[in-house]
Amino acid sequence: MENIDELDMAIGRYFAFALVGRMLEAGLYDALSRGAPKKELAATCNMEPHIFDAALHYTVRYSGLIQLDSYGQVALSDFLKSSDTARFRMLKFLGAYNACVTRPGVSNTETGLLALAYRQLARRAPSQLVSLLAELRPRNVLEIGCGSAPVLRALAVQDTSVSGLAVDNDVNMVALARELVLEQRLSDRITVSVASLLQLAKCPPTAHAPFDTVVLRSVLNGSFAEGTEPVRLLSAIASTYQEAQIVISEYLSQLGTSAGAANGSVQTLSHDLIQVFSGQGLPPANLKDWDAIYSAAGVRRLARRVDRSLAGITQFTDIVVAQPVEVNA
């Protein structure tokens, strides 16, 4: 019963979020930023005014993403207006991934909108992750699933001895990352290429530069549709980069847990639903299960930092290395 209650709560909130996603998909982000009449938004979303009005009030009440002013204008909430991170999450999860839900049969993300979302935070990088990486004193870094390559760019700006390769399988994200690398005059030290985690894992070790640090930020959580896939991918990466420290940055899910049912975070549960609807699968809800994945993949955890400061989302960063292979005498 707990799971049913939680699912009802999460899906109910997601319907509210989905309306905002529909507005984003229709190109109404700017209109919401400045405030727009309800009739205009209803027409753009191709909805009957009375239906749109009812859905809108539901969204205002349950999502916290938009608000109505005293003149009946619809606008982004003050929270979203004042937060780059909030706007980024709104574009990313409600825009880029929303197509998976609003249009049945669509399994891919809207990559152009995803790139736009990352463009909003083009010069930002997660400070805790960058701080932890700086303590490792990396010199040659591989950032896999790089998006706009915020981590590698931030490290290179902080330390002129840092260089590396950033890869992503999305051509839009690679184009954005290259643009930002050029803007920050880092192209002499950072290369950005199109490649997937699986492609990298299949390459023989001799094909790679001796990276001392490999960054997997929000990468493994996209491989949980099949239970053993995260283990296989992490094992392959560890085998390919045996001398490197692998830095894994992920989040803990809540959907389907008693904690999620009792006191679930709207942000985490919505993220979880997107993971499921977009075919990425649901990552573990606790750190013990992540440790089990490491053990099965043949890697050893050296350090861990947990961050619960981001709007109800529990994020963590682990440093792991490949386990040495024992040779029998």
Q: Are 62 and 151 in a shared domain? A: no
pLDDT tens-digit readout, 25-60: 565 556 666 677 777 777 776 777 777 777 677 667
Q: What is the 3-state secondary structure (H, E, C) of 81-106?
A: HHCHHHHHHHHHHHHHCCHHHHCCCC
- Mean pLDDT score, 238-261: 84
Domain assignment of residue 329, yes or no: no
Whether 42 and 136 map to the same domain: the answer is: no
Claim to verify: residue 290 and residue 225 sit in the same structural domain: yes
Contacts (Cβ under 8 Å, ≥6 apart) of 327:
none
Is residue 215 domain-shared with residue 70, that is, in the same domain?
A: no
For residue 238, being part of any structural domain is answered with yes
Evaluate if residue 90 carries a pLDDT over 80.
no
Given a cut of 60, whether residue 126 has pLDDT beyond it is yes
Judged against a pLDDT cut of 60, whether residue 83 lies above it is answered with no
- From 25, 63, 71, select the one nearest 44 (Cα to Cα): 25
Q: What is the CATH number of the domain that holds 19?
A: 1.10.10.10
- Pairing of the two strands 245-251 and 213-217: parallel
Q: Give the C-alpha separation, 105 to 67, whole Å.
A: 32
Reported for 285-292, long-range contacts at CB under 8 A and 24+ positions apart, including other chains, are 285/252, 285/253, 285/254, 285/256, 285/257, 285/259, 285/260, 286/252, 287/252, 287/316, 290/250, 290/316, 290/318
Residues 251, 207: Cα–Cα separation, whole Å: 31
Highest mean pLDDT out of 89-93, 202-206, 282-286: 282-286
pLDDT of the residue at 8: 47
Mean pLDDT on 79-84: 59
Q: How many structural domains compose the chain?
A: 2
Give 268's pLDDT tier (boundaries 50, 70, 90). Answer: confident
Q: In which domain, by residue range, is 48 found?
A: 2-119
Range with the largest mean pLDDT of 78-92, 106-120, 129-143? 129-143
N-terminal to C-terminal alpha carbon distance within the chain: 56
- On the question of pLDDT at 168 being above 70, the answer is yes
- Range 139-143 average pLDDT: 94
Question: Do 219 and 295 sit in the same domain of this protein?
Answer: yes
Answer with the one of 119, 152, 175 that is the final residue of a domain.
119
pTM of the model: 0.70
